[in-house]
Amino acid sequence: MRLSFDHVHIICRDLEGMVAYFEKIFGGEVIYREENFHGAPNAVVRVGEARLFLRGVRPGESIGENHADAVMGLDHFSFAVDDIHGLAAQMKAAGADFIRDPSPSGMGGRTTAYIRGPEDVRIELSERAGETYGGG
């Protein structure tokens, strides 16, 4: 059986702001929209080969760390990149807020950087190398 990664799903207070961010900073493209999917607007944004499913808040829904049904665990998601220093320079020029600039501190010898996205979503850029990709 072959598995591949499908998408990251982000619930956001400001759907249009989140869409605009991924278009501006990552060169994303909206490939699908639905204004009322079970009560909330949705958009799918393609960034490279990745897809982000973005959903607004549904009526009566509470979100946030103090919500009784909040799930702990997601720290960030990551995009694999070929030239982390060049991409970081482009993203900074476009207004990206870097939490940590590119540095060789990633697991398995990767060079990584972190960006603070809208609604405090943390996004990693990872220049692939080493054991974490099965390449030694």
Note down the domain range covering 119.
Answer: 74-131
107 in any annotated domain: yes
Distance CA 65, CA 67 (A): 6
The pTM of this model reads: 0.79
pLDDT value of position 131:
54
In a domain, 48, yes or no: yes
* Residue 63: inside a domain: no
- The CATH number linked to 88 is 3.10.180.10
Q: Tens of pLDDT along 44-88?
A: 999 999 999 999 988 887 766 555 555 445 678 889 898 999 999
* Rounded alpha-carbon distances, angstroms, from residue 51 to 9, 43, 48, 105: 9, 10, 8, 26
| Residue 81, domain member (yes or no) | yes
In order of 96, 118, 129, the CA distances from 132 in angstroms are 27, 28, 7
Domain count, the chain: 2
What is the reported pLDDT for 136?
Answer: 44
Look at the block and give the residue holding tokens 């979100």.
63
Which DSSP category does 66 fall into?
A: T
